[in-house]
Amino acid sequence: MRLFCRRAVNAFIALLLILVVSPRIHSQATNYPDKPPLLLGAAWYPEQWPESRWDQDLTLMEAAHINLVRVAEFAWSTMEPSEGHYEFDWLDRAIALAAKHHICVVLGTPTAAPPAWLTTKYPETLRWDENGRRDEHGNRQQFSFTDPKYRQFAHNIAEQMAIHFGPNPNVVGWQLDNEYANPSFDPTAKEQFHRWLEKKYGTVAELNRRWATAYWSQTYDQFDEIPTREDGENPALLLDWKRFVSDTWKNYSENQVSAIRPHADPRQFITTNTMGWFDGFNEYTVHSVLDIAAWDNYITGNYDYVANGATHDLARGFKNKNYWVMETEPAFVNWHKVNSPLLRGQVRDMAWQAVGHGAEAVEYWQWRSAPNGQEEYHGTLVGADGTPVPVYDEIRQVGEEFTKAGSAIAGTSPHSEVALVNDYDSRWAISFQRHSANFDPVGEMVAFYRPLREQSQSVDIISINAPFDGYKVIELPGLNVISQKTADRLMEFVRNGGHLLLGPRSAMKDEFNALQPERQPGPLAAFLGGRVDQFYALDADVPLSGDLGSGTASIWAEQLSTQSPDTTVVERYGKSNGWLDGQPAVLTRKVGKGRITYVGAWLDTALLNDITGGLLEEAGVQPILPGVPKGVEVCRRSGQGKSVLILINHNTDSAHVSLPEPMRDLIGAQSTAVNAVDLPPFGVAVLTRE
């Protein structure tokens, strides 16, 4: 049996892969025959500036090839200046003027920013924090997501907007609210949580059993006794609270969807803008009632393109199809400790990365600052004087390129043979009891994603409930919470030829966040033919060595053992805390036509790279374009008989990339096909076969 041998790069197979469309089909998110297929946009707040200024702004947008604006998002006090009195004339004029400049519109419902008359007259609509302190008017997002009165007002304004703008051919979609975030702990939320629990468990006795409430005398006699908290509580309660919050954001969305849908043109999508890995609620739950996914791509720290690419793939997985970047930064934000800019060229680099991962629109936040307000220092495209700032030209270049490449990219999307599972239950369960403060579940996801992406060049990030068919490799970096049903699906995947890799902390808990009765990986332990004898948080690195190379573990290490003769130990720990010395760290077993591998530690990048390489080779996964220099990202979008390669040089030096066949760069200076491209620092090529 060949186990994880080194990969040989086979250019011929790679070429075939470029030409052949994978069976796993992702679809386009939006399709407007009369609009450009790749949209470039900006958040525009016409209500913040005199109307006499609008035409000049839109002229400058058009000159930058901006063909999309998002408007009205926080304009509640302008659209409903007093209760039940709606004023949309100004917005009609703004949308009509935008249309004259060939700019289409996404309308935001303004519910993240209720007007003062509303919260003053109906203070019950305000959010309560965990300690029972009610918010006051000011800033934004100060509403309670459960309050019936607030729901009514939100429904009304969304409905009035939809009646008015639903038939407007220049409106292409709707964004609900803005960046759902904070739950409320007000009496209505508590009451709804109790009823949610009652519906789930039927009897309080069943809840007591599942939550093991004999612990610390938590036994409940009635659902109404149960506290509402976000941390420091019974882990079962905490997990159910997060699920309740997810369901509440879902029905918060449905409240507005039901107001908009009956009046909106069917081609108008409904979405909301999300925040990457944010774990306040389950995105898959909320997206089940939305048409497309859209996210806000802001960079924290330095631009780590692999980590940023992972977040794009995460967003694509919310609906398992192309998505929108509803907001991104024109070089810098205003909410870090030090708001240093992206380097010159990186704004364009990021725009193309978004498209490479499946975005159909990239929108900058924001066009221009409000004359006053909390965000005066944020990056913009024009200054307070109304003339372009330096990044405007870079964004205009993106616009020109989107126009040139749009028709080749239309109808295409990324297709992957490998998937990484993102599971909110597991991320929450780990975060509630990290055991090592350094164990960040997202950090762990990205650590596993990095070699997978670098070597396969295309990864889907999916929910544990997504279909597994079509994937050759599925990695579960930290599937801490597992149900028997999920375990059965995973075993079937392996038996049918799939390669499954589990990371540390896998399959420790059941769906009530209780410890599994068997050692990790619980219902998969017998299948693996091995188990976790003990887990350890690490305060120092531990050496490892074995068939796959040597390296170190940090943060977390599990002492494994085999229980079956055909389960192989592929890595062992070296000398460390005594407990781990010489013990198994990575196990693997061939089962049916596939393989299950358990990695019991947080490994260094090089070792994880080697393990991933072996797994991909055995599973028959090839890179899209072999032999590209480090720091050059390869993205492929295909569909409708087309295939487009997007190459992005994220390096500050130039890079030379050989192509498997002559290709034409749709945004390059040369109009004929080439066999290789030279990418300057942050250079991009968009290549098609001729």
Annotation marks residue 475 as catalytic: no
Q: Which of 179, 198, 230, 400 is catalytic?
A: 179
Least separation, in Å, of the C-beta of 515 and ligand GAL?
38
Least separation, in Å, of the C-beta of 178 and ligand GAL?
5
Rounded to whole angstroms, the Cα distance separating 207 from 197 reads 8
Which of 78, 119, 125, 178 is the binder for ligand GAL (CB under 6 A)? 178
CB nearer ligand GAL, residue 378 or residue 589:
378
CB nearer ligand GAL, residue 113 or residue 162:
113
Least separation, in Å, of the C-beta of 48 and ligand GAL?
13
CB nearer ligand GAL, residue 152 or residue 334:
334
Which of 103, 259, 333, 482 is the binder for ligand GAL (CB under 6 A)? 333
What is the torsion angle, in degrees rounded to the nearest 10, for the CA atoms of residue 400, residue 402, residue 405 and residue 411? -160
| Phi and psi at residue 644, to the nearest 5° | -125, 130
Distance from the Cα of residue 371 to its chain's centroid: 32
Question: What is the phi-psi region of residue 101: left when phi exceeds 0, alpha when psi lies from -120 to 50, beta otherwise?
Answer: alpha
Half-sphere exposure (CA, 13 Å, Cβ side) for 182? 16
Least separation, in Å, of the C-beta of 102 and ligand GAL?
25
Rounded to whole angstroms, the Cα distance separating 556 from 480 reads 14
CB atoms within 10 A of CB 630: 8
Least separation, in Å, of the C-beta of 559 and ligand GAL?
43
CB nearer ligand GAL, residue 363 or residue 571:
363
CB atoms within 10 A of CB 262: 11
CB nearer ligand GAL, residue 296 or residue 618:
296
CB atoms within 10 A of CB 593: 10
Cα distances from 342 to residues 170, 305, 560, 621, 652, in angstroms, run: 33, 12, 44, 34, 12
296 lies in the site for ligand GAL, by CB under 6 A: yes
Rounded to whole angstroms, the Cα distance separating 238 from 241 reads 5
298 lies in the site for ligand GAL, by CB under 6 A: yes
CB nearer ligand GAL, residue 380 or residue 513:
380
CB nearer ligand GAL, residue 79 or residue 647:
79
Least separation, in Å, of the C-beta of 369 and ligand GAL?
11
Least separation, in Å, of the C-beta of 296 and ligand GAL?
5
Least separation, in Å, of the C-beta of 179 and ligand GAL?
5
Q: Which of 327, 475, 558, 633 is catalytic?
A: 327
First to last CA, the chain: 42
Which of 47, 130, 179, 279 is the binder for ligand GAL (CB under 6 A)? 179
Which of 54, 324, 364, 365 is the binder for ligand GAL (CB under 6 A)? 365
Annotation marks residue 206 as catalytic: no
| Phi and psi at residue 416, to the nearest 5° | -130, 150
Q: Which neighbouring-strand residues pair with 678?
A: 656
Is the distance from CB of 455 to CB of 473 less than 8 angstroms? no
Cα distances from 254 to residues 113, 164, 243, 273, 275, in angstroms, run: 19, 20, 16, 15, 20
Copy the structure tokens of residue 634: 């390869």
327 lies in the site for ligand GAL, by CB under 6 A: yes
**Could you tell me which of 262, 287, 253, 267 has the C-alpha nearest to residue 173?**
267
Copy the structure tokens of residue 137: 């008017």
Count the residues of the shown chain that bind ligand GAL, applying the rule CB under 6 A. Answer: 9
The DSSP string of 357-421 is TTEEEEEES-SS--SSSTTTTS--SB-TTSSB-THHHHHHHHHHHHHHHHHHHTT-B---SEEEE
CB nearer ligand GAL, residue 371 or residue 627:
371
Rounded to whole angstroms, the Cα distance separating 368 from 60 reads 11
378 lies in the site for ligand GAL, by CB under 6 A: yes
Tell me the catalytic residues.
179, 327
Residue numbers of the site for ligand GAL (CB under 6 A)? 178-179, 296, 298, 327, 333, 365, 375, 378
